[in-house]
Amino acid sequence: MNMWKECKSLQEELVKTRRELHQIPEFGFDLPKTQAYVIRILEELEIPYKCSSKDSGIIAEIKGEKPGKTVALRADMDALKIQEENDVDYKSIHDGFMHACGHDTHITMLLGAAKILNQHKEDLQGTVKLLFQTAEELAKGSQVMIEEGGMDNVDAVFGQHIGSIMNKDIPSGKVIIVPGCCMASYDRFSIKVNGHGCHGSTPEKGIDPVNIASHIVIALQEIIAREVSAVKPAVITIGMIHGGVAYNAIPSIVEIEGTIRALEEPVRQHLAKRIKEISEQTAKTFGGAAEVEIDWGAPPVTNDNEMVELATNAAKEVVGETNVVTEIPAPNMGGEDFAYYLQKAPGAFFFLSSSNPEKHTDIPHHNPHFNVDEDVLYKGSAMFVKIVEDYLK
C-alpha cells in the first residue's frame, strides 16, 4: 500500500503540533490540557476514543474494513518537573515544567500516523489501537493503561523514543532497533534514617543520622562492586539526600532517595533486597534505625525477536538500510514502562535519533536545554504506519 510515504506531506503540520504541545507540559497522571489537545485532533479526524476513568490516558481505535489482528501503538504524554532554559518562541508556558524527554514529539508522531491510517482504514485488515499514556516518568502510566483495557485483544504492540537516548553520536534520522533487552529496569528507593537530634557541640548526647546516612551511601556501592557479577550491568545511584536545618545541630532524620537499574530480573530483586538489609543493619550498628521503601517502577524492556525483524524491515523502507542500527555495544541503562506492554503481547520498542550538534539537539534527555531535530518527525509517523501496513497485511 505504501501509505507510509504520505507522512512526509504532514511534516509542517507535525512541527506545528509538536510546538503547541511543547508549550503545555504537564506532569504525572493528570494532564488535562494535553488530553484535551489530543481529543480535539481525534475528534477532527473522527477517530473514536475513550478516556481513562483513572487518569488522563486515552485509548483510540481505527477499525479496518476487513477483520484481522489488532496492533497497538503507544505514545507517552507526560513531561518533567524541569524549568526550561531554551530560548525558543515555543518555550514552555508552565513554570517549572518542561517536555525534556521528547514526549511531545511522541504524541505528535502518533497523531500523524493516526491521520494517515484513518484515511486508509478501508485498506486495513484488522484494528489499530492508539494508546496515549500518562505517567511514563513515574513508571506507572502503562499499568493504568493496561487496567483500562488498552491491551485487551492486542496481538502486537510497538513504541518508539526520540532523541539521543541510545547514543548522541548516532546521527539524526537513524532508527535503532535491537532484539532482546534494550533498556534496563528502573525503580526508586527511599531510606529514612532515624537518629536523635542534639547540639553539634555534644554529639555523644544524640544519634547522628548524617553519619549513619554517609555510611549507608558508601556501603550501598559495595553491592555493585562485590555482589553483582561484572558481566551483569547494574546501577545504584543516590540522587537526593536531605537532612538538617542548622550548621551546629545534629538532626533527628536524614532522607535518602535513589534509583536502581538492572538488565535481569534476579539482579533487580537482589539489589532491592540488599539495599534494605544494608541500610537497616548499618543504622542499627550506630544506634539508629532505617525505614526503607522500594517504589517498584518497570522491569527491563525486552523486545520480541520476530517483532524486531518486522520493525527493522519497516525501518529499512522508511529511512533506508544504511540508516538502520541493529546492534549496540550494550543495552541502555535508562528505563521505560513500555516493558509492561511487552509482558502482555509480543512487540518492539525502537529509537529515532534526533541528535544533531549543528542544531544543538545532541543535549542529554532530562536537561533544561533538551530539544529535538524536528526534521525527523514525519519519519516517526512513517515508522508507525509502515509497521501497521506490514503487520496487518
Annotated binding-site positions for Mn(2+): 101, 103, 137, 161, 366
Largest CA-CA distance found in the chain, in angstroms, rounded: 80
C-alpha cell at 198: 542534639
Contact 179, 305 (CB under 8 A): yes
Q: Kind and range of the H or E element at 309?
A: helix 305-319
The SS3 assignment for 222 reads helix
Place of cell 479526524: 45
User: 327: how many CB neighbours lie within 10 A of its CB?
Assistant: 8
Ramachandran assignment for 334, one of left (phi > 0), alpha (psi -120 to 50 degrees), beta (any other): beta
Sign of CA dihedral 314, 142, 96, 240: negative
Specify binding-site residues: 101, 103, 137, 161, 366
User: 224: how many CB neighbours lie within 10 A of its CB?
Assistant: 17
List Cβ neighbours of 49 (8 Å cut-off, separation of 6 or more). Answer: 39, 42, 58, 59, 60, 61, 130
Among residues 372, 363, 296, 314, the alpha carbon closest in space to that of 103 is found at 372
Contact 191, 383 (CB under 8 A): no
Q: For 66-88, b where at least 16 C-beta lie within 10 A, e where not — what string?
A: eeeebbbbbbbbbbbebebebee
Cα 384 to Cα 130, 326, 352, 388: the distances in Å are 11, 18, 12, 6
